[in-house]
Structure 1
Amino acid sequence: MNRNYFKSKLFLKYIWSYLFILLLPLILITVFIYENAVSNLRSEIEQSHLNQLTQTKTIIDGRMKELSEIASRVSYDQRLTPYRVHDPYYSGEAIQALDQYKASSSIIGEMFLYFHKDDKIYSSKGMSNLNVFISNYSFHKWKQADLTQDLNSVIFPSMRPADLVNRNTHLQQSMLAYLVPITPNSPNPHGTIMYLIQESELTGLIDSILGKFQGLSYIFDNNGQILTNNRQGESLVDADAKSLFKLSSGIHSKTINGSQHSIVSVKSKENGWTYVTLMPSAQFFSSVLHVRSFIIMLFCIVVLVGAAIALLLARMQYQPISVLLEFANSKSKPNGSAAQSVPSGNELERIRTALQDYSSRVDLQEPYARNHFLSMLLKYGNAQSMTPALMSAFDLQFDRSHHFVMVIGWVESEDHLGDRQDRQEIIELLAQVEFPELAAHAYGVELPQPNQLALIVSFNLDDTMQEFIHVSHIVEAARSKMLENFDVIPMIGVGICYSNPNQHNQSFIEACSAYELRMSTGHGSVTYFENLSYTPDHTYWIPNNVLLKLSQSLKLGSYDVAAQIISPTIRSLHSSDLSTLIMRCICFDLLNTMLKTASELGIHNVMQEIPHNMIVNSLDELERSFLNLASRICTQVERNTKKEEHSLMDQVVAYIDSHFMDHTLSLETLSFEFAISPSHISRSFKEKMGLNFIPYIWNKRLEEVMHQLKTTNDALKDIIIRVGYLDTPNFIRKFKKETGYTPGQYRKLYSENELADTALNFDEE
């Protein structure tokens, strides 16, 4: 491309435009600043002082209001009533309360509470006599008598001017005293709150107002007294200073001490105080000299560099246009004959012509681009992160409160040509649909399937209508629109409604699921994904309690009960018109329940024995397979149960044999020990041993008593208790019933027999 920009009239116009923009305003501004620098600078400084004074006034007003509020709270504080502060028991609580009030405001140096005609005064540090307080806080200008009178007579909040205070005879501070009667605004106050405020708390707020300039800052009370002031290189006599109090709020110019001064005054409506700053006006001129030097230097630099800057800016502005023009020319005439057919006019006119040509091409491609854009939205979601420019170009808006997607399909007829025409017309009709009465709009998206499209719906939910009802109305409106305009009966799957447009992809997947798993394959069905999991007619599903019963019957090895569940369930599928998918799901429910139960029972071999094609067999074969599986599980459960019971009963018998002399031994203790019910132990024990638990224990104890009667000379009672019997008479009766002898007779009989045997053995020897 030819880069000789100076041949372009547009480029030359840019240069002259920039030169005019840079130089002409600069000249005018320089002259204007030179003529008005002093007044502008003065206005800025004075306005700055006015703003700072206003801010200072606001801060101090807030502090004073805070002190008045503290006084008001004190007057209503039950801990600070005259009775309680005088009472030795409650006085400590009152002093603590004063300390809390003092700590609530950073401006308070010290806080005192005084009740009229009282000889005591109270502070956060304790109670003291009024005379002691006056001697400890000695004001230079506030006499003792006046102080006492003011404490007893003040009926309005009053601020004393800054005064030097000698504290404890060796510490001297400049402080202000603020007196607030309590109760505030009462015509007959019963006491006074006195705040001592260090002067630096107020002067610190006005120190920075003058900045680098010399001058004075004053704070006057509502009577014109100087509460505090700040001097920076200048001083005034009291008469001149007090004359500042009479000035109205605003900016003033006044001659003081023979020189012109700029004065800024602000009055407070809260307490009537006046805030004033004044400074010699001559200081403005020295500042203007620095500004003028800077302006002259800047002017020279701009004049020297202005032309170069204008040239550079013009080139930067023109370069993209030249590149765009080159691109437009190359695209408009691909055969290279662009130079022969370049339209008349400048570069911008030629670019405009090229854009018009491109616009017509884009109009042809826009539906495809729009459909792709919406397809990406359905695939990935994140509507809010989509390119705003494209959304605006395709006139897409997802700014409403609720969003969902529906998938619409219809069946082809034999007239394929007519179907294609209807399909295109349906797509055009639903490309962008408005439902004003439902506060909804929708965008159609063509899906890869021949006769399906998705409808992205956004709407604002009416407070008087439930969400699902609103969605169903929109779906019915879309369905009616198709029925009115086309000879097709749509089948619709509807996804869940979301409040976030970023979840369009989830709603789309749900709509596809609802469409594919619709409960009726006939024409005109509308299936809501929300209803798939709780369809009103779900009697064909196996209830959870039935599955639980099946599992439990298998765990107990009850084949008859398991068969009574499996057979009716499978046979009911013969007479149903359910889809193959749902039938398989029902069968899988049964199979999963049985396999899960088998796994829980530790029977893992049945899973390897299941045929791979079990679920795809006929229902009769499936029933036989399920019954066979249940039979194997139950048989194995019975075997395992018997084996476990025999092993467990061996442990129980061993435990009984070693603990039968424990009088606490019972079925309950065995149940606790082996975690088995007493009835189950009793039944299993009888099956194993041939007799019940109680007779077995009695026999074991009886044998032990008989053995000890024969081998020991211990007392009968001790033997009976030792073997676990606490009721001796009852044991003796039962012993006699079993043996025909009392325990004493049995011991004597055994002794006589033993002596006879011994003598016989001796004779034989």
Structure 2
Amino acid sequence: MKKNYFKSRLFLKYIWSYLFILLIPLVLMTIFIYQNAVSNLRTEIEQSRLNQLTQAKVVVDGRVKELSEIASRVSYDKRLTPYRVHDPIFSGEAIQALDQYKSTSSIIDEIYLFFHKDGKIYSSKGLYNLDVFGNTFSFKSWPTDKLFEDLNAVKYPTMRPADTVTKSSNMAERLLAYLIPITPNNPVPHGTVMYLIRESELSSLIDTVLGSYRGLTYILDNEGRVLVDNRQDEALSASAAASLIDLAPGIHDRTINGQPHSIVSVKSETNGWTYVTAMPSSQFFSTVLHVRSFIILLFSIIVLAGAAIALLLARMQYQPISMLVEFAASKSNAKRPHGSPDAAAPVNELDRIRSALQEYSSRVDLQEPFARNHFLSMLLKYGNAQSLSPELQQSFGLRFDRSHHFVAVIGSGEPGDSPNDRQERQAIIQLLNQIELPELQASGYGVELPQLDQLGLIISFDLDAGAETFGRVRRIVEAVQGRLADIAGTVPIIGVGNCYESPDQLNQSFIEACSAFELRSSAGFGTVTYFELLSDAPDRADWIPNHTLMKLSQSLKQGSYDVAAQIIGSAIQSLHATSASALLTRCVCFDLLNTMLKTASELGIHSVVQDMSPAAIFGNSLDELERSFLSLASGICSHVEQNALKEEQSLMDRIAAYIDERYADHSLSLESVAFTFGVSPSHVSRSFKEKIGVNFLQYVWQKRLEEVRLQLRTTGNPLKDIIQRVGYQDTPNFTRKFKKETGYTPGQYRKLFAENGEARQLPEGDDE
């Protein structure tokens, strides 16, 4: 059925919110764009001109640099020495060489070579007497005598401004003259190379700067003279043009000829020339008129599109909320029968979701102790505390940032199932859940182990410089003993593992604590066994200490391959470092082998002996023996893991069968089942969910619910009797849970299936 979102006030709020969010910035943005259109467009055009002018400068500088390089090559060209040029035999080669140099640059109109105090001047077309040259080329602003004087006296490259040149054919054109003394950079030059360059050649390089805009472009030398004048529709006076040289590189505003202009200036670092382009500011406003029309059109389109997008976004945002509401209604609120009094009540989606979250939060709070215990159990089994999720550590209130860590195993030696034993165990668990010993700079976290008579305790503490580690561990254990004595009256048996600086090694300390607990010298209450004190080192250091073999055996029993591999590796490495004989080394290795085989036998794993590689006994080297031992340890740990899984599955199946038989017992609880089967409640809670698929309470509830539904469909017994018969004593609470699960009250459910399970119209009221 199609949903009508517009009936939801929340959905309408989303639409208005999106429209408000869209329109306010859009209006402000439109005003801002319109107000700043002139300056933005102007800046863009000016920046574009600046980039183009910079590009033109690079091109012109490159061409001028080519001319300097040509002059340098001319000065060192043997064909153009004074002797060869004057020699009638070689003069033709000189003229040909000049023609070749001319063709290497696209801007050269003609190239001339003049030697000081010489009566002739040479070009790519031939040689001229100075009188003939003066009559052939007439510069409007450069008299002939001044020209010859400059040819003899020029000391550094000089570019003369564009000038009108009249040739003998009465043809006039504007040319620039570029004089370069040769040899270049020589304080006493012996000649001059003169280039004639058409002004149009340089102006064509910068024509692209103006584009479709009116304006003018100048190239000024470092003395402020206009070298190239490329104008469109207007011109500057000589003084106004000369003032442009004082402008700093960049973009400027100036009034020229009574009109505001935008001026862009670029200065060449190579020769000091200044490139300037000026454009009337009025050209910007013609573009803005087009922009204004475009903005109005764009604004209208955006408003219409924004309304459609607001509707789409509101629907997209509301849809997951609608799905959450449906989920909350199906999981948290009972399905209201048709015709119920509050069926038409206004829907507050967020309140419904909030109620569902609160309900799920309460469920999480109930499961948190079991999750926390599972987290710590994994830490004891595998170590690697630093790699565990920091978010989980924070949510469980766990910290492992102290300098030293160890594990203690606390137990009574035998499980008890009396009410007093349960109460005492619960008090100890509550105490050890998070124990603080500020006077010893220590804190600890309790862990419920699978064995009902044992608890684990992870202790972290800071050790002052120079303090004795074992002494601090002993004091901490004694403090824990005192706390336990205050609660239980008697102190349980405690096994203590070695202390490590890294929490990643807590699994090793746990194995050692289990070994110490198992190998305690006394079974009496209050006994504390330290693994460190179990070490009865043999006379020779070559032999493996007994406590190491104990730790190896315990690690195999726990299925902890990482710890077993480390013990084997350390033992083999120690043998590498000794100078013991081959026979003694083999005997020492037999200690490791016998320990593993004995442990396998105790665990009932007899197949490892048949599958064992001969290299484990007859290995030729320690490395080969180590590989064999590691393989054997891996096999034993794998069998332990597999057996544990099978036993776990079998245990959970037996517990499920136990619940199937006794679910109607109102005293049935997680704790009572755990004590019946001799395992910890935390272990039952975690493993039951993993193996059966639902948690313990859900499983019991489902069994009771199925029986109640069957009784409602098939009998006419009173509801209260049925509920009490399946183990519930709180009838109102059961009725609420039943309605939450099925959507109907028990009375409605009975009426619904009264006639062979065929549904019929329910009354508006409830008979219960």
TM value normalised by structure 1: 0.43
Q: Give the greater-gyration-radius structure (CA).
A: 1
